[in-house]
Amino acid sequence: MKVSIVVAVSENNVIGANNKLPWYLPADLKRFKELTLGHHTIMGRKTHESIGKVLPGRTNILVTRNPDYIKEGVVVVNSLDNAYRLAEKSGEKEAFVIGGAEIFKEALPKADRIYMTKVIVKIDGDVFFPSFDEKQWKVISRNRYKADEKNPYRYEFLTLLRINRE
C-alpha cells in the first residue's frame, strides 16, 4: 500500500491558524476531494474536529491517544501504524494522511508521495508543516495557477515522489 500525504501549505510553511485552514481555495478543496474520494483518509483528532464532519465517500481513520474517544462514522485507532494496518487489511492501495502537523511529522518517513498545494502567500498561523529533506523527493508534477475570482491567492499543485529512503 502506498502512503500519501495531502497538504496545503503557505510559503512560510503555515498549514493552520486557530484550528482552521487560513485560506479558502475552492480549487484546492476540489483537488483534495478528487484525490481522496473512495480511499482511507488518516488524520489526527484536531484535524477531524477542525473539519467538523465525517468526510463522505471515504473511510475516515482518526488517530488519537485518548482510548475513550468515540465518534460516529469514524474509525478510531491509537497509532499511525495501526491506521496503516487497518487500511491495508481493507485492501487499500493508497491511503491519504491529511493532517495535522504531528501526524504529518510522524508520517513523513514512511510516505511514498506528497500531494502539495503551495499557496503563494506568507500568512500568519500557528500550525506548520514539518521540515523534511527535499533531496529525498522528486517533483514529478507541478501546475501553477493565478489568483481568480474564486481563488484569492496564486497557488501550485505539486506531486512529490520519494526517491530515497533515509
In a domain, 15, yes or no: yes
Number of domains present in the structure of the chain: 1
In a domain, 125, yes or no: yes
In a domain, 147, yes or no: no
Is pLDDT above 90 for 67? no
Q: What's the pLDDT tens digit per position in 70-103?
A: 999 999 999 999 999 999 999 999 999 999 999 9
Q: What confidence tier does 165 reach under pLDDT thresholds 50, 70, 90? A: low
CATH of the domain at 54: 3.40.430.10
What is the percent of the chain with per-residue pLDDT over 70, rounded to a whole number? 98
Query: Is 53 exposed, middle or buried (CB count within 10 Å of its CB: 0-12, 13-18, 19+)?
Result: exposed
- Beta bridge mates, 159: 115, 141
In a domain, 59, yes or no: yes
In a domain, 14, yes or no: yes
Q: What's the pLDDT tens digit per position in 21-47?
A: 999 999 999 999 999 999 999 999 999
Q: What is residue 27's DSSP assignment? A: H
What is the maximum alpha-carbon separation in the chain?
A: 45
In a domain, 159, yes or no: no
Residue ranges making up the domain that contains 78: 2-135
Q: What is the distance, to the nearest Å, from the Cα of residue 16 to the centroid of all Cα atoms in its chain?
A: 12
Query: Is 39 exposed, middle or buried (CB count within 10 Å of its CB: 0-12, 13-18, 19+)?
Result: middle
